[in-house]
């Protein structure tokens, strides 16, 4: 350790015995020549405590740091002890007295601590003959000082929770009987059981009840007969009403009271605040659909990685089918700007599940009211609430017909089964929706639609012709009078694919089967329905693949940011995990853009570094340095974290990490080297790399290996010559081009996407681009076999530059067109990007949240969108002159801070920082991933084909791609 004029002493963990006055004294100096400094511990706005560990039998101390001087404020305070071993703490007990059948029952939990003060997670477990392992009927966890609880439908519990909690069963039945246990998360073996018994006396009165009910039933049947006769006349007027609707119309509407009225007022205020343009705009809730995958946590070099495990093929197809339907509806919303909400991934358990405790005794219709008497209710796949066309419930089936898709299905039996299930699901969903909306509009008409994106209309007709019972049920369910025109309420692949898809959807929305049906919704009815289904009180939490729990994204900004988080390379597939675990010395990774090649190099580099090896990131292609610089930057940052945390413990096995400087030194453990194979200096390059390895082994990573030349396999030759002089060579290389791989190398082909959403890879213009001559050497991907992904992603947004003063466009290239720039700004702001870098959050969060039990609609861990998440790539040959284009000038006038990214700096990471929009020549920055990519077509000069540059640019997007396409026939001379 060297000391100059300055010395820093670090206290790893500050405690009370280290507070006081300090002085730095040098021998020979008197005390009057010293200056002192005082050290104290500030707790901020919270009270914190510290209790260092000691040996058993030794004295110990506990220090409390209050947010105020309690000696002056004279405020009371308490110190609580929460035992880490439940067997030594006071037991948690429960009590539930026996009740008669269908009477209310109350389970009381007595905890050993005050839950509200200790912030302890807890749950109540029910043990029965059906679930001997136990089922959580109430589970509560603390998130950012908010108690978030999942409670079984129909049960209620008291708030706030202190050292006692009361769980109420409104109507006890046999399914509630059994043993219960109140458990604290941090306690072990300290919970006792209490048994709930349904009083047997209720059975003895059964004969009395039956004796009373029989004559009453006769009277009820007579009354029902009279009502049915009268309703037979009404049915002629309302032919579209089903028999289920008639029964529901006879159900009494629950009387409202002041609590219910205040709840509805609060719901209405919150929905208008969350969605300011509720009466004119289209919204999707949630704003991004997450696939139903499972995830496994793993570690590589001490760093957490998430491995995706796919569900069954049936689940994958269903997820893909629903996302295709949602994307179709998004295209309709983008084109026609219709006032509608599209709700998906919704279950009845989510409905008003987060109502604040002050409204706990409201009398709005709830799902539990219906499920007690109707066990056949069903959840829907998609719900469309439209101002003009009313409420449409949609069930999506991923049915595939042999004649359509070439998939083997036993005589299409699965298609018939799907159709039967769809009818049941639609009818059940209709009953539930009518029940929940009974107090809003008792006679509400609900349309039922079946969507089959993988099945042709012809195949559906042929199947229904063979199964008349299914045809009859489908006709009755959807209200079709004639199956000859099923396109009204059965949308097939014919309507959901192709260039006229949006027109077909608009035609479907406008279909009215009877002239007397009133589908349109008044302003008040529209907002009331939305406030209950799409508001904060019905907004569930999502568990992300990395374990974080966040509120369901409700805005486009949250959708863009969350999608980018899911495709940032932190989620891998089992094939990536297996390769890094096996860690062969020499590997060539092949695959299309976004298939996880760079991610695998990063993981392998971290593993080598954690084992104490020196790692060299080698850039072999003058035209493609960016991806290698990015890889070096990631590994450099990892090595610095190792240095800070002192990760290597044994200096003989793991040498102490060396601080990484900007330029390579002999002591660096992560180095960056640039070579150029096209200079025909192969021997000199081999010697250079050999000299780097002379100091004690070298492990090499090459991303975007190249250059690619069909007649000169330069990289293959380099690898074979290098291993000849260094047989123990460790070298991993990656490329999305069809290289000739070196002899003896392990070749791994990746196909499944990791860092690019399937919505982009399946986009028609992207697939066409990949077939161009400039991309003929690209490793192609199968759009139907991209594999499982966290989500499908967001549809590509287009801005078309027409030129020649068409629709306000100038006679120029897109980067010089004011209209194109304004259109891009509109899309960026719609994505939630604010011009003020100091206030980039969702400005709708400041609204009152009194409706819900959580303090905020959005969890603090919900991903956000920042200016540095956006990258603008422009096809422009002059990098220095980009800042003077109309595109940059208009962005600045609109309030954005714009910076031009340069590819010549070696310190790559220092460029993409700060609250700026970054813009660069599309030729540079290939390999850099960003959540939002704005790709502007134009002109460019490069040794690399323009189609290749364009493809790498658009596939570098991890969430929202905005593509400015040049549709002009010709341009003025440059």
Contacts 24+ apart (CB under 8 A), 293-296: 293/545, 293/788, 293/790, 295/545, 295/546, 295/571
Q: Are residues 220 and 177 located together in one domain of the fold?
A: no
Same domain, 593 and 737: yes
Domain presence at residue 653? yes
Domain CATH number, residue 775: 3.40.50
Q: Please indicate whether residue 569 or residue 482 has the higher confidence score (pLDDT).
A: 569
Neighbours of 79 (CB within 10 A): 7
Boundary of a domain, candidates 749, 771, 789:
749
Could you tell me which of 843, 837, 831 has the C-alpha nearest to residue 932? 831
| Mean pLDDT across 813-821 | 89
CA distance 738 to 749: 11
Say yes or no to pLDDT of 246 above 50.
Answer: no
Q: 3-state DSSP helix/strand/coil percent for the chain, to nearest 5?
A: 35, 20, 45
Highest mean pLDDT (candidates 73-87, 235-249, 823-837) = 823-837
pLDDT exceeds cutoff 70 at 853: no
Task: State yes or no: pLDDT of 585 exceeds 50.
Answer: yes
What's the chain's length in residues? 974
Domain of residue 90, residue span? 86-203
Handedness of CA 80, 84, 86, 88 (dihedral sign): negative
| Model pTM score | 0.69
For residue 640, how far is the Cα from the chain centroid? Answer: 30
Report pLDDT for 696: 62
CA angle 909, 911, 916 (to 5 degrees): 125
Higher-confidence residue of 659 and 27: namely 27
Predicted confidence at residue 309, as pLDDT, reads 85
Number of folded domains that form the chain: 6
Shared-domain flag, residues 177 and 266: no
Share of the chain above pLDDT 90, in %: 36
Per-residue model confidence (pLDDT) at position 114 = 85
Same domain flag for 768 and 745: no
Place of tokens 């190792």: 642
**What sign has the CA pseudo-torsion 692, 693, 696, 702?**
positive
- The C-alpha atoms of residue 275 and residue 268 are separated, in whole angstroms, by 11
Q: Are residues 896 and 781 in the same domain?
A: yes
Query: Looking at the domain assignment, is residue 10 inside a domain?
Result: no
pLDDT band with cut points at 50, 70 and 90 for residue 850: very low
Q: Is the pLDDT of residue 974 over 70?
A: no
Do 610 and 734 fall into the same domain?
A: yes
* Per-residue pLDDT tens digits for 269-325: 999 999 999 999 999 999 999 998 999 999 999 888 999 987 788 888 999 999 999
Residues 621, 505 share a domain: no
Average pLDDT along the chain:
80
Residue 954: φ, ψ to 5°: -70, -30
The answer as to whether 550 is a domain residue is no
**Is residue 273 situated within a structural domain?**
yes
Which tokens in the block code for residue 321? 């089918």
Q: Give the whole-number percent of the chain exceeding pLDDT 70.
A: 77
Alpha-carbon Rg for the chain in angstroms: 33
Do residues 54 and 106 both lie within one domain? no
pLDDT of residue 47: 72
236: CB partners within 8 A, 6+ apart: none
CATH classification at residue 723: 3.40.50.300
- Name the residue among 298, 280, 384 with its Cα closest to residue 336: 280
Which pLDDT belongs to residue 253? 44
**Strand arrangement, sheet containing 615-619:** 670-674, 615-619, 699-702, 730-735, 586-590, 746-749
Two structure tokens written together for 632:
């070096």
Q: Same domain, yes or no, for 529 and 646?
A: no
Q: Let me know if residue 45 belongs to a domain.
A: yes
Average pLDDT on 676-694 reads 76
Same domain, 865 and 826: yes
pLDDT band for 778, please (50, 70, 90 cuts). Answer: confident
- Give yes or no: residues 169 and 295 share one domain: no
Residue 334 vs residues 384, 757, 758, 766, 797: alpha-carbon distances, Å? 15, 20, 20, 20, 9
Residue 217 pLDDT level (bands cut at 50, 70, 90): low
**Residue 425, CA distances (Å) to 170, 274, 324 in order:** 28, 31, 20
Helices (H), 624-727: 626-645, 682-693, 714-725
Domain presence at residue 2: no
CA angle 132, 138, 139 (to 5 degrees): 100
Q: Give 370's contacts (C-beta < 8 A, 6+ positions apart).
A: 377, 431, 432, 435
Exposure string of 57-74, with b = 16+ CB inside 10 Å and e = fewer, is eeeeeeeebeeeeeeeee
Give the pLDDT score at 879: 63
In a shared domain, residues 26 and 151: no
Choice between 725 and 749, residue whose per-residue pLDDT is larger: 749
pLDDT band at 887 (very low <50, low <70, confident <90, very high): confident
In tens, the pLDDT along 727-740 reads 888 999 999 988 77
CA dist 596 and 599 (Å) reads: 5
- The 3-state DSSP class for residue 584 equals coil
Would the pLDDT of 513 be above 70?
no
**Rounded distance between C-alpha atoms, residue 762 and residue 781, angstroms:** 9
Write down which residue in 721, 749, 777 finishes a domain: 749
451 Cβ contact partners less than 8 Å away, ≥ 6 residues apart: 321, 325, 382, 394, 395, 396, 397, 490, 491, 496
Examine the fold and report which residue of 726, 749, 772 is the final residue of a domain before the chain moves on. Answer: 749
Residue 725 CB neighbour total at 10 angstroms: 12
Residue 522, in any domain of the structure:
yes
Cα distance between the two ends of the chain: 61
């Amino acid at each position: 350790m060297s000391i100059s004029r300055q010395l820093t002493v670090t206290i790893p963990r500050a405690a009370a015995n280290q507070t006081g006055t300090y002085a730095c004294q040098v021998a020979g100096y008197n005390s009057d020549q010293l200056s002192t400094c005082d050290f104290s511990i500030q707790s901020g706005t919270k009270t914190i405590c510290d209790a260092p560990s000691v040996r058993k039998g030794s004295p110990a101390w506990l220090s409390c740091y209050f947010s105020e001087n309690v000696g002056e404020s004279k405020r009371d305070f308490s110190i609580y002890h929460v035992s880490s071993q439940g067997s030594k703490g006071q037991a948690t007990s429960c009590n539930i007295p026996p009740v008669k059948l269908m009477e209310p029952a109350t389970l009381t939990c007595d905890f050993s601590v005050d839950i509200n003060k200790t912030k302890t997670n807890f749950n109540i477990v029910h043990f029965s003959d059906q679930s001997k392992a136990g089922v959580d009927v109430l589970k509560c966890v603390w998130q950012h000082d908010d108690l978030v609880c999942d409670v079984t439908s129909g049960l209620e519990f008291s708030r706030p929770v202190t050292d006692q909690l009361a769980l109420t069963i409104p109507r006890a039945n046999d399914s509630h009987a059994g043993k219960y246990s109140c458990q604290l998360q941090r306690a072990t073996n300290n919970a006792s059981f209490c048994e709930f018994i349904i009083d047997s006396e209720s059975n003895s009165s059964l004969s009395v009840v039956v004796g009373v009910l029989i004559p009453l039933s006769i009277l009820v049947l007579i009354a029902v007969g009279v009502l049915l006769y009268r309703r037979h006349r009404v049915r002629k007027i309302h032919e579209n009403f089903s028999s289920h609707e008639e029964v529901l119309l006879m159900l009494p509407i629950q009387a409202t009271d002041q609590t219910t009225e205040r709840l509805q007022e609060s719901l209405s205020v919150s929905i208008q605040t969350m969605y300011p343009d509720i009466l004119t705009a289209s919204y999707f809730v949630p704003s991004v659909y997450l696939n139903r995958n499972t995830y496994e946590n793993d570690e590589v070099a001490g760093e957490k990685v998430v491995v995706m495990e796919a569900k069954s093929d049936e689940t994958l197809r269903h997820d893909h089918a629903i996302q295709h339907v949602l994307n179709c509806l998004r295209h309709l919303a983008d084109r026609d700007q219709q006032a509608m909400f599209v709700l998906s991934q919704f279950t009845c358990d989510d409905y008003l599940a987060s109502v604040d405790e002050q409204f706990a005794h409201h009398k709005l219709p709830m799902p539990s009211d219906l499920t007690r008497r109707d066990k056949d209710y069903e959840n829907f796949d998609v719900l469309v609430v439209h101002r003009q066309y009313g409420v449409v419930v949609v069930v999506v089936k991923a049915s595939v017909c042999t004649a359509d898709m070439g998939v083997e299905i036993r005589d299409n039996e699965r298609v018939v089964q799907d159709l039967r299930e769809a009818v049941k699901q639609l009818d059940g969903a209709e009953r539930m929706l009518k029940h929940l909306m009974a107090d809003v509009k008792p006679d509400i008409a609900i349309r039922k639609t079946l969507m089959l994106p993988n099945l042709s209309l012809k195949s559906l007709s042929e199947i229904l012709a063979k199964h008349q019972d299914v045809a009859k049920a489908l006709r009755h369910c959807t209200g079709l009078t004639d199956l000859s025109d099923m396109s009204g309420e059965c949308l097939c692949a014919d309507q959901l694919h192709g260039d006229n898809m949006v027109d077909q959807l608009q035609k479907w929305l406008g279909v009215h089967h009877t002239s007397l049906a009133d589908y349109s919704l008044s302003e008040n009815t529209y907002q009331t329905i939305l406030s209950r289904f799409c508001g904060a009180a019905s907004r569930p939490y999502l568990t992300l693949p990395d374990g974080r729990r966040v509120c369901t994204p409700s805005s486009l900004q949250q959708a863009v940011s969350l999608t980018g988080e899911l495709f940032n390379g932190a989620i891998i597939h089992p094939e990536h995990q297996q390769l890094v675990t096996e860690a062969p010395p020499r590997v060539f990774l092949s695959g299309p853009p976004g298939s996880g090649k760079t991610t695998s190099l990063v993981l392998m580099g971290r593993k080598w570094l954690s084992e104490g090896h020196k790692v060299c990131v080698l850039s072999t292609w003058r035209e493609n340095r960016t991806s290698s610089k990015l890889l070096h930057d990631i590994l450099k940052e990892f090595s610095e974290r190792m240095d800070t945390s002192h990760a290597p413990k044994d200096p003989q096995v793991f040498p102490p990490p060396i601080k990484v400087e900007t330029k390579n030194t002999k002591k660096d453990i992560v180095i960056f080297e640039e070579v150029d194979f096209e200079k025909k200096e192969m021997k000199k390059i081999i010697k250079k790399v050999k000299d780097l390895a002379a100091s004690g082994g070298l492990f090499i990573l090459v991303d975007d290996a190249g250059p690619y030349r069909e007649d000169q396999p330069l990289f293959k030759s380099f690898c074979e010559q290098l291993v000849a002089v260094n047989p123990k060579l460790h070298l991993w290389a990656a490329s999305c081009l069809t290289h000739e791989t070196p002899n003896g190398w392990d070749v791994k082909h990746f196909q499944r996407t990791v860092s690019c959403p399937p919505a982009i890879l399946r986009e028609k213009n992207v697939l066409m681009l990949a077939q161009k001559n400039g991309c003929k050497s690209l490793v192609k991907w199968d759009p139907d076999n991209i594999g499982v992904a966290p989500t499908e992603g967001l549809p590509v947004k287009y801005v078309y530059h027409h030129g020649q003063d068409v629709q306000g466009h100038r006679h120029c290239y897109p980067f010089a067109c004011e209209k194109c720039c304004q259109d891009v700004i509109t899309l960026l702001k719609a994505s939630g990007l604010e011009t003020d870098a100091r206030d980039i959050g969702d400005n709708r969060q400041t609204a009152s949240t009194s409706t819900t039990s959580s303090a905020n609609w959005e969890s603090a861990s919900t991903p956000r969108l920042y200016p540095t998440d956006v990258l603008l790539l422009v096809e422009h040959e002059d990098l220095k002159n980009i800042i003077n284009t109309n595109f940059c000038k208009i962005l600045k006038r609109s309030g954005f801070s714009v910076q031009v990214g340069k590819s010549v700096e070696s310190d790559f990471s220092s460029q993409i920082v700060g609250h700026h929009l970054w813009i660069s020549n599309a030729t540079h920055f290939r390999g850099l991933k960003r959540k939002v990519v704005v790709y502007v077509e134009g002109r460019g000069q490069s040794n690399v084909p323009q189609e290749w540059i364009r493809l790498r640019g658009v596939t570098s997007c991890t969430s929202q791609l905005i593509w400015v396409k040049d549709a002009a026939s010709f341009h003025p001379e440059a």
